[in-house]
């Protein structure tokens, strides 16, 4: 994940927002909110995690496949992406 400083800052901010959403689930459990409300908060974390996954896959595709420094690196970057795709679609 050494793409660019700018991307790293953006990704870190995104992960911190997800951490905040997870804390909100814990507070909702403490406050004994209704099931439906808690499940809504959990669904929002799931959406944010999916968005983060897409962002990371896109960056990997761009920096480690499209802009790879050699044919060998390009193939390795693609093979890594295939592993991730299989994890998500098994």
Q: Residue numbers of the site for its own copies (CB under 8 A)?
A: 1-2, 8, 11-12, 15-16, 18-19, 22-23, 25-26, 28-30, 32-36, 38-40, 42-43, 45-46, 49-54, 56-66, 74-75, 78, 80-90
CB 59 within 8 A of CB 81: no
Smallest gap, in angstroms, from Cβ of residue 6 to its own copies?
13
Smallest gap, in angstroms, from Cβ of residue 64 to its own copies?
6
For its own copies, give the closer residue by CB, 34 or 69: 34
- CA-based nearest residue to 63, from 21, 11, 1, 8: 1
For its own copies, give the closer residue by CB, 69 or 83: 83
For its own copies, give the closer residue by CB, 69 or 87: 87
SS3 category, 32 = coil
Give buried/exposed letters for 9-29 (b at 16+ CB in 10 A, else e): eebeeeeeeeeebeebbeebe
């Amino acid at each position: 994940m050494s793409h660019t400083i700018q991307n790293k800052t953006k990704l870190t901010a995104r992960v911190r927002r997800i951490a905040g959403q997870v804390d909100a689930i814990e507070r909702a459990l403490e406050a004994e909110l209704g099931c439906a409300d808690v499940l809504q908060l959990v669904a929002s974390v799931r959406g944010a995690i999916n968005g983060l996954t897409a962002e990371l896959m896109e960056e990997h595709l761009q920096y480690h496949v499209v802009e790879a420094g050699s044919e060998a690196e390009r193939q390795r970057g693609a093979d890594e992406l295939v592993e991730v795709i299989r994890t998500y679609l098994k």
